[in-house]
């Protein structure tokens, strides 16, 4: 059984680039956006069947969250339709990744909203199956790398740890195949250690029981005005 991994995150955070690092030579590459693009380059969910170290994976690339709140519902709707575009039953998803460009610093403003939507899409039961992938490490110098990692870790601690005692798994990707392969290997181990028992993302459990996208836990967040940069940092 392939390990199915859902890739979620803001536009330009490197989801499609991650896929391309893992595709075998000669395969059709995922379309990648130009640097600084604010519109999602990936328009609908797309499926990529890959093999790493002899293990099979299905990566589901999704359109990114744009840098303004009104787009969030659109992106969530696209994700909720993933079965139509990929043929993958969303209840078979093994794990989910949230991507973040480390060069963007902390989760503030719209990025914070994206993270809240992601958290509600997953639901508490799915949290052990979530990982965070930080990208663009290759363009930071050594000093910046150390301080960015600490800040990011602290930020996630505050926003996320209450769901997970041991803390979320955070990976650093350097725009190369080895650091991307380490991420998928993590999910393969996770699948093996769970002995086939699978948690399901809350969003798809809700949808399969007839809840409309906008009334799912994640959907409700997309209906509220963004909290912006000010105010309490606790989600
Ligand atoms: N230097 C560097 N550039 C990266 C990295 N990841 C992505 N990029 C660049 O960032 C831009 C956007 O990357 P994409 O992979 O298209 O981002 P995405 O998350 O798929 O974006 P959407 O499809 O719009 O949601 C491209 O120009 C990539 O080359 C990275 O780790 N390092
Ligand atoms: Mg993309």
Per-residue model confidence as pLDDT tens digits over 166-206: 667 889 999 999 999 999 999 999 988 877 677 899 999 99
Predicted confidence band of residue 147 (pLDDT cuts 50, 70, 90): confident
CA of 37, nearest ligand number: 1
The three-class DSSP label of residue 205 is helix
Rounded distance between C-alpha atoms, residue 148 and residue 135, angstroms: 12
| Res 162: pLDDT | 58
Lowest-confidence range among 81-85, 146-150, 166-170?
166-170
Q: What pLDDT sits at residue 153? A: 73
Q: Which residue's CA is minimally distant from atom 4 of ligand 1?
A: 136
| Distance from C-alpha of 74 to C-alpha of 176, rounded to nearest angstrom | 31
Ordered strands of the 46-52 beta sheet: 46-52, 55-61, 3-8, 95-101, 130-135, 169-172
**Domains of the chain with CATH codes:** 3-223 (3.40.50.300)
Run of H or E including 83: helix 82-86
Name every residue whose Cβ is closer than 8 Å to that of residue 114 and which is 6 or more positions away in sequence: 9, 10, 65, 72, 107
- Using a 10 angstrom Cβ sphere, with 0-12 exposed, 13-18 middle and 19 or more buried, the burial of residue 121 is buried
Burial class (CB in 10 A: 0-12, 13-18, 19+), 230: exposed
Against a cut of 0.95, is the pTM above it? no
Q: Is the CB of 17 inside a 6 Å radius of any atom of ligand 1?
A: yes
Q: Distance, CA 221 to ligand 2 centroid (Å)? A: 23
Q: How far is CA 192 from the centre of its chain?
A: 21
pLDDT band at 36 (very low <50, low <70, confident <90, very high): confident
Give the residue, 151 or 51, on which the prediction is more confident: 51
CA distance linking residue 165 with residue 168, whole number of Å:
9
Q: Which ligand has the nearest atom to the CA of 34? A: 1
Atom 25, ligand 1: which residue's CA is nearest? 64
Choose among 25, 116, 22: nearest CA to 60.
22
């Amino acid at each position: 059984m392939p390990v199915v991994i859902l890739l979620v995150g803001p536009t330009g955070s490197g989801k499609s680039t991650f896929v391309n690092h893992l595709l075998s030579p000669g395969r059709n590459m995922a379309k990648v956006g130009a640097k600084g693009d604010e519109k999602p380059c990936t328009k609908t969910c797309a499926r990529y069947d890959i093999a790493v170290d002899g293990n099979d994976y299905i990566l589901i690339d999704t359109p990114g969250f744009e840098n303004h709140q009104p787009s969030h519902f659109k992106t969530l709707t696209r994700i909720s339709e993933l079965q139509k575009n990929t043929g993958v039953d969303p209840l078979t998803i093994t794990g989910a990744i949230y991507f973040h460009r480390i060069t963007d610093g902390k989760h503030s403003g719209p990025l914070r909203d994206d993270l809240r939507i992601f958290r509600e899409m997953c639901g508490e039961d799915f949290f052990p199956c979530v990982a965070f992938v930080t990208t663009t490490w290759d363009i930071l110098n050594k000093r910046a790398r150390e301080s960015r990692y600490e800040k990011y870790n602290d930020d996630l601690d505050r926003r996320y740890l209450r769901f997970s005692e041991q803390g979320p798994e955070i990976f650093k990707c350097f725009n190369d195949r080895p650091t991307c392969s380490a991420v998928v290997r993590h999910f393969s181990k996770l699948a093996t250690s769970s002995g086939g028992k699978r948690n399901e993302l809350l969003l798809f459990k809700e949808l399969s029981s007839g809840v409309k996208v906008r009334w799912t836990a994640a959907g409700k967040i997309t209906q509220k005005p963004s909290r912006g940069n000010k105010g309490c940092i606790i989600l």
